[in-house]
Amino acid sequence: MSAAAFLRPGSFAEALELRAARPEAVAAAGCTDVLVELNFGRLHAESFIDLTRVAELGTLGVEGGTVRIGAGVTYDALVRGAGRDVPALAAAARTVGSPPIRNRGTVGGNLASASPAGDCHPPLIACGAEVELASASASRTVPVERFFTGPKRSVLRPDELVAAVWVPKADGPQAFAKVGTRNAMVIAVCSLAVALRPSSLRVGTGIGSAGPVPLAAHAAEEHIGGHLEEAGAWETRAPLRPAAVERFAELVAQAASPIDDVRGRSGYRRHALQVLARRMLTWCWEEYRHEPRWAA
Amino acid sequence: MSRYASENEELAPPLSATTLEHEAGRIGDPAERLDGVPKVTGAFEYASDLRREGMLFGATLRSPLAHARIRRVDIARALASPGVEAVLLARDVPGKKRFGLNFDDQPVLAAGVVRYAGEPVAVLAAASPAEARAAVGRIVLDLEELPGVYDMEQALEADAPKVHELGNVLRHVHIDHGDVASTRADVWVDGYYETAMQDQAPLGPEAGLAVPAEDGGVDLYVTTQWLHVDREQIAPCLGLPEDRVRLHLAGVGGAFGAREDIHSQIHACLLALRTSKPVKFSYGREESFSGHVHRHPSRIWVRHGARRDGKLVAVSARLLFDGGAYASSSPAVVANAATFAAGPYEVPNVQVEATVVFTNNPPCGAMRGFGAPQVCFAHEAQMDKLARALSLDPVELRLRNALATGSVLPTGRPIAGSAPVREVIEACAAIPLPEPEPTSGRGALHYPGGTGGTTRGEGLQRGVGFAVGYKNVAFSEGFDDSTAARVTLRLDDGEPEAEVYTAAVEMGQGLYTLLAQIARSELGVERVVLRQADTLIGSAGSSSASRQSTMAGGAVQLACRRVREELSRRARARGAGDGEAHGLAELRDLLDEPATAEAVHRHRRTERFDERGQGDVHVYLCFAAERAVVEVDEELGLVRVLQVAAAVDAGRVMNPLGLAGQVEGGTAQGVGLALMEEVQLSGGVIRNASFTDYLIPTMLDMPPVAVRAVEYPEPEGPYGLKGIAESPTVVATAAVVAALRDATGRELNRAPVRPEEIVGLVGPARSAGAPAIPDVPGQEAVPSYLAMSSGQQHLM
Asked if B450 and A181 come within 8 Å (Cβ–Cβ), the reply is: no
- Show which residues on chain A lie within 8 Å of chain B, measured between beta carbons: 3, 36, 39-41, 91, 94-95, 175-187, 189, 191, 262-265, 267-268, 271-272, 275-276, 279, 283
From residue B782, alpha-carbon distances to B166, B392, B475, B651, B734 in Å are 8, 43, 20, 37, 31
Asked if B448 and A183 come within 8 Å (Cβ–Cβ), the reply is: yes
Strand partners, B614: none
Flag whether residue B64 sits within 8 Å of chain A, measured between CB atoms. Answer: no
List CB contacts of B486: < 8 A, sequence separation 6 or more: B500, B501, B502, B537, B559, B596, B597, B598
Strand partners, B710: B649
Output the CA torsion sign for A232, A234, A237, A241: positive
What's the confidence (pLDDT) of residue B580? Answer: 62
Alpha helices by DSSP H, listed for chain A, are 12-21, 34-39, 75-82, 87-94, 99-104, 107-113, 121-126, 144-147, 218-230, 233-236, 242-255, 266-290
Asked if B459 and A180 come within 8 Å (Cβ–Cβ), the reply is: no
Asked if residue B21 has pLDDT above 50, the reply is no
CA angle B71, B74, B79 (to 5 degrees): 160
Asked if B284 and A176 come within 8 Å (Cβ–Cβ), the reply is: no
Instruction: List pLDDT tens digits, range A120-139.
Output: 999 999 999 999 999 999 99
DSSP B461-480: EEEEEEEEEEEEES--TT--
What's the confidence (pLDDT) of residue B790? Answer: 54
Asked if B452 and A3 come within 8 Å (Cβ–Cβ), the reply is: no
Strand partners, B646: B626, B707
Asked if residue B20 has pLDDT above 50, the reply is no
User: Closest partner residue to B456 among A3, A183, A283, by Cβ?
Assistant: A283
Asked if B451 and A177 come within 8 Å (Cβ–Cβ), the reply is: no
Asked if residue B411 has pLDDT above 80, the reply is yes
Mean pLDDT of B209-235: 97
Asked if B688 and A262 come within 8 Å (Cβ–Cβ), the reply is: yes
User: Closest partner residue to A268 among B692, B695, B761, by Cβ?
Assistant: B761
Asked if residue B268 has pLDDT above 90, the reply is yes
Global ipTM: 0.96
Asked if B452 and A265 come within 8 Å (Cβ–Cβ), the reply is: no
Instruction: List pLDDT tens digits, range A177-198.
Output: 999 999 999 999 999 999 999 9
Instruction: List pLDDT tens digits, range A211-229.
Output: 999 999 999 999 999 999 9
User: Closest partner residue to A271 among B451, B680, B759, by Cβ?
Assistant: B759
Count of Cβ atoms closer than 10 Å to residue B214 Cβ: 5
User: Closest partner residue to B756 among A36, A183, A267, by Cβ?
Assistant: A267
Q: Which residue of A has its CA nearest to B454?
A: A177
Q: Which residue of B has its CA nearest to A3?
A: B130
The Cα–Cα gap between B658 and B120 comes to: 38
What's the confidence (pLDDT) of residue A59? Answer: 96
Of B138, B442, B454, which to mutate for an interface test with A (greatest number of A Cβ within 10 Å)? B454
The minimum CA-CA distance between A287 and chain B, rounded to whole Å, is: 13
Give chain A's length: 296
Q: Which one-letter amino acid corresponds to residue A39?
A: N
Mean pLDDT of B601-612: 97
The minimum CA-CA distance between A283 and chain B, rounded to whole Å, is: 9
Which residues on chain B are in Cβ contact (under 8 Å) with A36? 692
User: Closest partner residue to A183 among B284, B450, B456, by Cβ?
Assistant: B450
pTM: predicted TM-score of the whole model, two decimal places: 0.96
What's the confidence (pLDDT) of residue B1? Answer: 42
At B422, is the secondary structure helix, strand, or coil? helix
The Cα–Cα gap between B508 and B202 comes to: 10
The Cα–Cα gap between A255 and A248 comes to: 11
List CB contacts of B475: < 8 A, sequence separation 6 or more: B332, B481, B541, B542, B545, B547, B619, B792
Torsion of CA B1, B6, B9, B11, to 10 degrees: -120
Asked if residue B794 has pLDDT above 50, the reply is no
Flag whether residue B638 sits within 8 Å of chain A, measured between CB atoms. Answer: yes
Asked if residue B793 has pLDDT above 50, the reply is no
The minimum CA-CA distance between B617 and chain A, rounded to whole Å, is: 40
Of A37, A94, A183, which to mutate for an interface test with B (greatest number of B Cβ within 10 Å)? A183
Q: How many CB pairs under 8 A join A and B?
A: 103
Per-residue confidence at B578, pLDDT binned at 50, 70, 90? low
The minimum CA-CA distance between A269 and chain B, rounded to whole Å, is: 9
Asked if residue A159 has pLDDT above 80, the reply is yes
What's the confidence (pLDDT) of residue B11? Answer: 39
**Exposed / middle / buried, residue B563 (Cβ in 10 Å: 0-12, 13-18, 19+):** buried
The minimum CA-CA distance between B683 and chain A, rounded to whole Å, is: 14
